[in-house]
Amino acid sequence: SGPAPPARIKKLDATVVNRIAAGEVIHRPAHALKELLENALDAGATSVAVTVKDGGLTLLQIQDNGSGIHADDLPVLCERFTTSKLRAYDDLTRIATYGFRGEALASISHVAHLTVVTRTADSPVAYRAQYADGNLVPAPGQTKPAPKPCAGNQGTLIQVEQLFYNVRNRLKAMKPANDEYHLVLDVVARYAVHNAQVAVSLRKAGAGSVADVATTGGGTPADKIKIVYGAAVAKELLSIDDTVAHDCQMTALVTNPNYSTKKFTFLLFINNRLVESPKLKRALDALYAPFMPKGMHPFVYLALTLPPHKVDVNVHPTKQHVQFLHEEEIIAAIRDRVLKELQSANASRHFAVQT
Ligand code: ADP
Ligand code: MG
């Protein structure tokens, strides 16, 4: 007998390839929202309003007052690798925008129903366009796909409906709507703190729903922490502004040992990107441990600025993980700097160090 003959190798259908790729970029509503928020910020918006239904699975909507999108660009908007932000590979070393891959809207259009309403400053009307699998699709009542003139404010409204309707496994992997909502809330809250100049709101869809995040534009990250995370955190913050190692500039708001909470809230931005660094998180948590009751943790907002050529934002499509040079040394330097601040706060205010 022996093994069965091999199955023959065939090229995958483009739609299948794109749907798989989309799943790599968009894991859950909060990821889609992060991309949409970043697009709004890239477009220079000073106001961003997010509306969510069923944790973002039924509806994820974001309205900004940014530049809008040129009507002539709407036909290619959701094609993969179409972008207004990157032209040449070398631009990556000095990229100042969040986006650059031209993958987000394309990905979303492959796993959800996507509608865009947008108006630029010099256009008398807005345009409405609907997308599926990377392409414009005819609106109801239309035969040919084309952006349709309509009324609308300057800026862009993006509606993502029925996320993962065509990716059953991904849909099954979703948490209950309320948990997904909290992940969305987390992303919105973090951007609201870091982008203090932008008015950010988040609400659940439905008449009479109260906004869960509502900031006005202006003020400082400390002001936003008070609004978003509450006065109990805000009144215990120590502020650090320093250059630590390898030209790493750190701006931080960290709680003093008076404050402790069950869950470590760690807001980390590297060159304005919301990222995660489990290593840095562990280092900070360990640093605070002697100052905290057992099992309790601090609140840390940390914004690092590194010379762009020392940061590689290109490591993963979600851009959630960035790699930077001299990571170990920089983490050690940040830890030392925060420790110094905690110790001086401790010395001046006589906090009890737990033993
Ligand atoms: P990227 O951000 O990497 O360029 P995206 O798929 O996220 O890719 O967006 C594609 C393009 O669509 C952007 O380069 C930008 O020109 C335009 N765009 C997307 N969202 C907005 C928005 N909210 N306002 C203005 N332009 C937008
Ligand atoms: Mg983008």
Q: What is the pTM of this model?
A: 0.92
Last residue of a domain, one of 183, 214, 245: 214
Same domain, 179 and 316: no
pLDDT at 348: 73
Q: Are residues 26 and 150 in the same domain?
A: yes
Centre of ligand 1 to C-alpha 295, Å, is 43
| Number of domains forming the structure of the chain | 2
Q: Are residues 241 and 312 in the same domain?
A: yes
Mutate to test the pocket of ligand 1, among 26, 33, 36, 39 (most ligand atoms within 8 A of CB): 39
Nearest CA to ligand 1 atom 8: 102
SS (H, E, C) 64-133: ECCCCCCHHHHHHCCCCCCCCCCCCHHHHHHCCCCCCCCCHHHHHHHHCEEEEEEECCCCCCEEEEEEEC
**Ligand lying closest to the C-alpha of residue 72:** 1
Q: Are residues 62 and 131 in the same domain?
A: yes
Residue 329, in any domain of the structure? yes
Please indicate, yes or no, whether residues 137 and 79 belong to a single structural domain of this protein.
yes
For the segment 114-131, what is each residue's pLDDT rounded down to a tens digit? 999 999 999 999 999 999
Same domain? 184 vs 57? yes
The domain in which residue 23 lies consists of 14-214
Residue 355: the pLDDT is 44
**Whether the CB of 32 sits within 6 Å of ligand 1:** no
Strand order of the β-sheet with 237-243 is 237-243, 249-255, 299-305, 265-270, 273-274
Tell me the CA–centroid distance for residue 266 and ligand 2, in Å.
24
Residue ranges in the chain whose pLDDT is less than 50? 354-355
Q: What is the dihedral of CA 298, 303, 52, 142, to 10 degrees?
A: -170
- 259 within domain boundaries: yes
Q: Do the domain assignments include residue 221?
A: no
Which domain CATH number covers 289?
A: 3.30.230.10
Res 351: pLDDT: 53
**What's the pLDDT score for residue 347?**
76
pLDDT number for residue 315: 57
Does 60 sit in the ligand 1 pocket, CB within 6 Å? no
Is the distance from the beta carbon of residue 156 to the nearest atom of ligand 1 less than 6 Å?
yes
Q: Do both 330 and 204 map to the same domain?
A: no
CA of residue 103 to ligand 2 center, whole Å: 7
Output the pLDDT for position 314: 60
Asked if the structure places residue 3 within a domain, the reply is: no
pLDDT at position 232 is 96
Examine residue 219 and state whether it is found in any structural domain, yes or no.
no
Domain CATH number, residue 204: 3.30.565.10
DSSP secondary structure, 193-211, as one string: HH-TTSEEEEEESSTTPPP
Distance between CA atoms of residues 256 and 351, nearest Å: 9
Pocket flag, ligand 1, residue 40 (CB < 6 Å): yes
pLDDT in the model for residue 176:
96
The rounded Å distance from CA 96 to ligand 2 centre is 12
pLDDT at 209: 86
Residue 107, ligand 1, Cβ within 6 A: no
Whether 210 and 318 map to the same domain: the answer is: no
Per-residue pLDDT tens over the stretch 299-309:
999 999 988 77
Which pLDDT does position 307 carry in this prediction?
86
- Say yes or no: 162 and 300 in one domain: no
Indicate the residue among 154, 180, 214 that finishes a domain. 214
Q: How far is the CA of 46 from the centre of ligand 1 (A)?
A: 16
Same domain, 244 and 183: no
Within-domain flag for 146:
yes
Ligand 2: distance of its center to the CA of 88 in Å?
17
Query: 38 and 185: one domain?
Result: yes
Q: Is residue 264 part of a domain?
A: yes
Pair 35, 95 in one domain? yes
Among candidate residues 149, 183, 214, the one where a domain is terminated: 214
DSSP category for residue 58: S
Does 335 map to a domain? yes
